[in-house]
Amino acid sequence: MATTTITEALAEIKTIDKRIEKKREFITTYLVRNEQLKDPLDRDGGSFEAIRRERQAIKDLEELKVAIRRAILDANQENTITLSGTIRSIADWLVWRREVAPTQERFLTTLRRNIDANRAEAQKRGLAVAEPDKARERDLIVNLNEAELAEEIERFQETLGALDGQLSLTNATVNIEY
């Protein structure tokens, strides 16, 4: 059983993928030959045996990859990160970053752009932008506190940046066994 950091394990997965690809290329190269040609792998037991060994090696590497991914997943479920007062497992933060953050970021950007575009259009028409309780009949009313929106966008960006930093730190310091 090997013990390593998550960062090292992720690098190992990339190496495994490259090794598998090379083994597949080897198999493809020696998969078929004309009977009249000498077997170039005859000294090593022949092409048939070499292909059998390489296929087994691929299966072993794939199982190693699964074991490493499982160990990383377990570590990500067991370890937590606290950001902006929110405590989540690393696994949950990864889901948030992958599935929630992009749509949240698009929505916040859409809100900001929509307000800006409507404000610009109102100014072209000579209309004013006013708070709801101070608006006149033709004024444009923004039904959202823009200062709070700006703060929310800033907090969101800070959270994303801090999350990346915390994930890098955690990956470099948390050990896993596989």
- The Cα 178–Cα 99 span in angstroms is 28
pLDDT band at 131 (very low <50, low <70, confident <90, very high): confident
pLDDT given for residue 138 in this prediction: 81
Chain position carrying tokens 């929106």: 149
The conformation of residue 144, written as its DSSP 8-state character, comes to S
Tens digit of each residue's pLDDT (9 = 90 or more) over 72-126: 999 999 999 999 899 999 999 999 999 999 999 999 999 999 999 999 999 998 8
- The Cα 157–Cα 58 span in angstroms is 42
Residues 95 and 18 in one domain: no
pLDDT given for residue 161 in this prediction: 96
| pTM of the entire predicted model | 0.80
Residues 89 and 47 in one domain: no
Residue that is last in its domain, among 11, 44, 78: 78
Range of the domain at 171: 81-177
pLDDT band at 129 (very low <50, low <70, confident <90, very high): confident
**Token pair recorded at residue 130:** 């006013």
pLDDT given for residue 135 in this prediction: 74
Residues 70 and 99 in one domain: no
Q: Which residues contact 62 (CB under 8 A, 6 or more apart)?
A: 20
In the predicted model, is pLDDT for residue 153 greater than 80?
Answer: yes
